[in-house]
Structure 1
């Protein structure tokens, strides 16, 4: 089992149990004590877990799953959804890309577009766009270690001085809520600025988000011009009926 996948499993186990003996965790994952302790040390460095006297527990102060984890979840499906969303982009447009894993998964598809400008607060997305010879603007501000994104006054200030033809963002979950969500209040702040500066606002997320929960609603369904996903049933369509347009794979 790859280390990245195993660490995701450790995180998911701790989400369910909260706290577990390290020896039991090694048995569940069928790995050696040395391997599990190496994984835990890596998770500690990311401030995701806390080790204590033969046990490991989730760090409740950090409730955002790192981007490195989210990139490996449903990666192929995320890529297909993002590529479909980016088909809507026209040559010469100015677009905003958020720092989510779904957007990042499809960035390579932008190489087929001509004379576009990408504005983003994602360090990883900006780096990849530069590699693709795309004119790229990275917003300033405070850099978040886990999500590799910038936030704060300077980031919002730059966004407020752009006009976006299209903006693309993701969602962490829409279960039991009436809008699209993010994990932190700082995430709401920057997306609200983006919405105000955009002609067309797209949300790109796979259908598993209908069964996932998150804390903060950054926009209501009626504010979204288009939702791009894989496939949804009638109940799910009814839930997001206020979205102006829905694209499914």
Structure 2
């Protein structure tokens, strides 16, 4: 088999999301699958907790926040229980339970048909509701990060929620542990350039450091 045939086949496999091409070779892409919320809350929990503690420093009393239903976002919400006077817009029952009805917070919960695996609302009704708000800061999770393909997710509704948050929020904080880098998701949500603050648990590889050079990067 010629070198050009190998390169062509690798390009095809990469376009299909089956592999991630690297300098001098390729590796299998992580599986494009996410389990239920309870399972995902236990995955990389220590890293998510460190990320959450660092991310909380960006939230002041009285802030207007959108917080999505990703597990890292749920960890961040738990770190905000001492903040006062927050206005929280969310599609997550978990976030609502953490921050609703405490410390003079105002809570706006998007509703529609609940996805039991995510314990969240992300159908068209929920999307239309969230699109009405203009938060100071959106706190978002992500399913996958690729240096060339950008930010990706696995759930159509959650991907749409992320797109709305990127469009309507003054700033976006993305919480992502190191397992998300180099993965392929099912659908694109945003370009890396749309992230204002990245909070992660490991120093970035050179290609990602270049890709996020515009953002404030915090390694927890």
TM-score range, shorter chain: 0.7 to 0.9
- Seen in structure 2, the aligned counterparts of structure 1 residues 184 and 114 have a Cα distance that, compared at 3 Å, is same
User: Which stretch of the first structure deviates more once superposed, 95-104 or 125-134?
Assistant: 125-134
Q: Normalized per residue, which structure has more helix?
A: 1
- Seen in structure 2, the aligned counterparts of structure 1 residues 247 and 146 have a Cα distance that, compared at 3 Å, is same
Instruction: Tell me whether 1:209 sits opposite 2:209 in the alignment.
Output: no
What is the CA distance between 1:77 and its match in structure 2? 1.5
Instruction: Tell me whether 1:111 sits opposite 2:81 in the alignment.
Output: yes
Q: 1:240 matched to which residue of 2? A: 211
- Quote the Cα distance in structure 2 between the aligned partners of 1:211 and 1:233: 11
Q: After the TM superposition, which residues 71-220 of structure 1 pair with which residues of structure 2 at under 5 Å, given as runs?
A: 71-130=41-100, 132-133=102-103, 134-175=105-146, 177-220=148-191
Flag structure 1 segments of 5+ consecutive residues without an equivalent.
1-61
Structure 1 or 2, whichever has the larger Rg, is 1
Superimposed CA distance per residue, residues 90-147 of structure 1 (whole angstroms, 9 cap, x where no aligned partner): 2211101010111112322212212111111011111121264432211012211111
Flag structure 2 segments of 5+ consecutive residues without an equivalent.
1-31
- Quote the Cα distance in structure 2 between the aligned partners of 1:239 and 1:155: 35
- Quote the Cα distance in structure 2 between the aligned partners of 1:115 and 1:129: 10
Displaced runs of 4+ in structure 1, greater than 4 A?
none
- Seen in structure 2, the aligned counterparts of structure 1 residues 79 and 132 have a Cα distance that, compared at 3 Å, is farther
The secondary structure found in structure 2 opposite 1:232 is coil
- Seen in structure 2, the aligned counterparts of structure 1 residues 211 and 160 have a Cα distance that, compared at 3 Å, is closer
Query: What TM-score does the superposition give when structure 2 sets the normalisation length?
Result: 0.78
C-alpha contact (below 8 Å) 1:221/1:243 kept by paired residues: no
- Quote the Cα distance in structure 2 between the aligned partners of 1:63 and 1:144: 16
Q: After the TM superposition, which residues 15-54 of structure 1 pair with which residues of structure 2 at under 5 Å, given as runs?
A: none
Superimposed CA distance per residue, residues 160-204 of structure 1 (whole angstroms, 9 cap, x where no aligned partner): 221100001111222465211110222221211122210001110
- Quote the Cα distance in structure 1 between the aligned partners of 2:218 and 2:61: 21
The secondary structure found in structure 2 opposite 1:202 is strand
User: Which stretch of the first structure deviates more once superposed, 131-140 or 64-73?
Assistant: 131-140
- Seen in structure 2, the aligned counterparts of structure 1 residues 208 and 156 have a Cα distance that, compared at 3 Å, is same
The secondary structure found in structure 1 opposite 2:73 is helix
C-alpha contact (below 8 Å) 1:183/1:215 kept by paired residues: yes
Across the two proteins, how many residue pairs are aligned to each other? 188
Instruction: Tell me whether 1:227 sits opposite 2:198 in the alignment.
Output: yes
